[in-house]
Each structure stands twice: as C-alpha cells, then as structure tokens.
Amino acid sequence: MQLQTYIDKIVLFYNRATKWRVKEQAQLFNRLCVLMQEGYLFPQAISMLLPHHIEAHEDIQQQIDEKLRQGVGVAGIFETLQLGNHYLMAIKVAENNGHMIEAFKGVAKQITVSEKTKKKLIKLLIYPVTLIIFLLLLFFVFRTFFFAEH
C-alpha cells in the first residue's frame, strides 16, 4: 500500500514537471489579457489557451473545470498551473480589487524579466563553470599519469 502511494507521488511529480508544465508563461498571460479585453470570460479564455501552452491540456482542463465548479478563484486556477507564489499574490490582490487585466499584464512583464535574468545568469556562468570542470579534469589526468606511484 505504501509502495503504491509512493509510486503515485512520483507519477504526479513527473506529470507536474513535464506534461502539466506551462510553456511560455509570459505569452500565456499576454494572450489572456488580450482575450479578456476582447470580452471573453476567464474560463473561456483559459480553456482556449491551454492547448497551446500545456502538453496534457485535457487533464488540466478537467482539473480547472472541477475547481471552477467548486468556486475556486483565479489564483486557485493558476495555482493548479503551478505558477509561482509571488505571482499568485499579485493575482489574489487583483481578484479583490477587480483589476485582473492589469495584474495579468504585470505578471507577464515580471515573468519576462525573470526569464531574461535567468538567461543572462546562465550565459555569465557557463564560462567559469566549464573552466573549473576542465581544470579539475586536467588535475586528475596529471595526478593519475604523471604522479602515479610505482
């Protein structure tokens, strides 16, 4: 019984990390803003966008529909989509004051800036990390071949 629950947790983690992960989050929020400005309701807009941003969108759509039937808010829906807590806080505040479209635009900008920062950091760290790995490899080769004990 414990093995089955452990396997279920692993499968759930795998699905969250691969199949249920939102691709291009900033683009999702920008498109959601446009659709809501054009007059679509949130459930309609999110159901139109899910197939373009999630691999297993049928599963997520069922979960979202169930949460909407239960009366969960927009922040709860994005929690299902594994949006970061700092973004969820902005959406919760916007739910209370009614400025959802502006909040979605702000979240899209924040996600874009965050992605650019991550890319810059990776670019900056590639050279030092490869240099350290190369030097360690060189050290082990010299130690093995030139300083080997006979």
Single-letter residue type at 91: I
**Per-residue confidence in pLDDT tens, the chain, 150 aa:** 687 787 777 776 666 665 556 788 889 999 999 999 999 999 999 999 988 888 877 888 888 899 999 999 898 888 888 888 888 899 999 989 988 899 999 999 999 999 999 999 999 999 999 999 999 999 998 888 877 665
Question: Is residue 32 within 8 Å of residue 77, measured between CB atoms?
Answer: no
Q: What is the pTM of this model?
A: 0.74
- Distance from C-alpha of 7 to C-alpha of 129, rounded to nearest angstrom: 35
Q: How many CB atoms lie within 10 A of CB 141?
A: 10
Q: How far is CA 46 from the centre of its chain?
A: 16
